[in-house]
Amino acid sequence: MAGFLLRRIAQSVFVVLVVTLLVSWAVRLTGDPTLMLVQGAGSVTEQDLENIRKALGLNQPFAMQYLDFMRGMVSGNFGRSFLGGTPVSRLVADALPATLALTFASLAISLAVSIPLGIHAAVHRGGWSDQLIRVVSLVGLSFPNFWLAIMLVLLFSIMIPVFPPSGMDGPASLVLPAVTMGVILSAANVRLVRTAMLETLSAQYIMVARSKGLAERVVLYKHALRNCAIPLITYVGLQFGGLIGGIVVVEKVFNWPGLGTLAFDAISGRDYPVLQAAVTVLALLIVTVNLVIDIAYGVVDPRVRAGS
């Protein structure tokens, strides 16, 4: 077990290193941030720009800049924002709770919708309700998240003013962005639950449970769902990465003050430290979730630890 854990942790560390290296390199392709800083400052000489680069540490070779970033990341110090001079660690700490709240609210909505619908579709296989659920889930998979977000704002914030259209002002502000992401996730999860339940319902122990006279709800939710939950949990863990990527767009549409909005604004302003820190934290979240899933699999199934 110790060797299995060490391999998974080593792989996770390698992934984080690769992500931080690629982000640090790619962000410098967006342009010179000093040009953004001197906009509207009147006449600026090349020597002035060089002095600003030196003050920001941008005159050093890329390798030195990357090593400085990694040393700061280990100690939790991501430097200061180029634009406002605010410590980047504070900006990330302020934005991270909003992103986590939106992430887990979206997952909760997805599971609350997909599990009952997936079970219903499996139990009524081939019926009109099964066909309808499958068609709706297929349509849901085709929806771009930004389009669905705009439609929800038009419907529930403008035509029927029930929820705030943007910002973070109480629990009501969380509803529309969470529903946007939850609907997209539910479309895939419904099909997964249906497939897993179809395989489980044909198992012999389900027939035995029904022959004992157990209520159908007990058979479905206590026996069948428990055994088909493993692939669902695995897929939800894998969805976490896609969810984080989609949240960047949804947060910007709803002006949600999370890491996605922070990263987007940093790209617009060529704020290297903020963008590097935001993407690194998002990568750490994804890697951590996948590491937890790998470890859980290793605990449950010895064949995973053996590499079979």
How big is the chain by its Cα radius of gyration, in Å?
A: 24
Q: Is the pLDDT of residue 266 over 80?
A: yes
**182-205 pLDDT per residue, tens:** 888 888 888 888 888 888 777 777
Residue 308 banded pLDDT, cuts 50, 70, 90: very low
Residue 307 banded pLDDT, cuts 50, 70, 90: low
Q: Give CB contacts under 8 A, 24+ apart, made by 19-24.
A: 19/279, 19/280, 19/283, 20/66, 20/69, 20/70, 20/73, 20/276, 20/279, 20/280, 20/283, 21/66, 23/275, 23/276, 23/279, 23/280, 24/62, 24/65, 24/66, 24/69, 24/272, 24/276
What does each C-alpha distance from 266 to 37, 278, 281 come to in angstroms?
A: 13, 9, 14
- What is the rounded distance in angstroms from the CA atom of residue 194 to the CA atom of residue 176? 27
Residue 172 banded pLDDT, cuts 50, 70, 90: confident
**89-143 pLDDT per residue, tens:** 889 888 888 888 888 888 888 888 888 888 888 888 888 888 898 888 888 777 7
Residue 275 banded pLDDT, cuts 50, 70, 90: confident
**In the predicted model, what is the mean pLDDT of the chain?**
80
Ordered domains of the chain (ranges, CATH): 88-305 (1.10.3720.10)
Q: Which tokens belong to 151?
A: 């439609």
8 A C-beta contact, residue 92 and residue 261: no
Query: 10 Å Cβ neighbour count for 284?
Result: 16
Mean pLDDT of 216-224: 75
- H-only helix segments in 124-215: 128-142, 145-153, 172-201, 204-211
**19-58 pLDDT per residue, tens:** 888 888 888 877 777 777 776 666 777 777 788 788 778 7
How much is the pTM?
Answer: 0.77
Mean pLDDT of 279-299: 76
Q: Is the pLDDT of residue 179 over 60?
A: yes
Q: Is the pLDDT of residue 304 over 60?
A: no
User: Looking at per-residue confidence, does 117 or 5 come out higher?
Assistant: 117
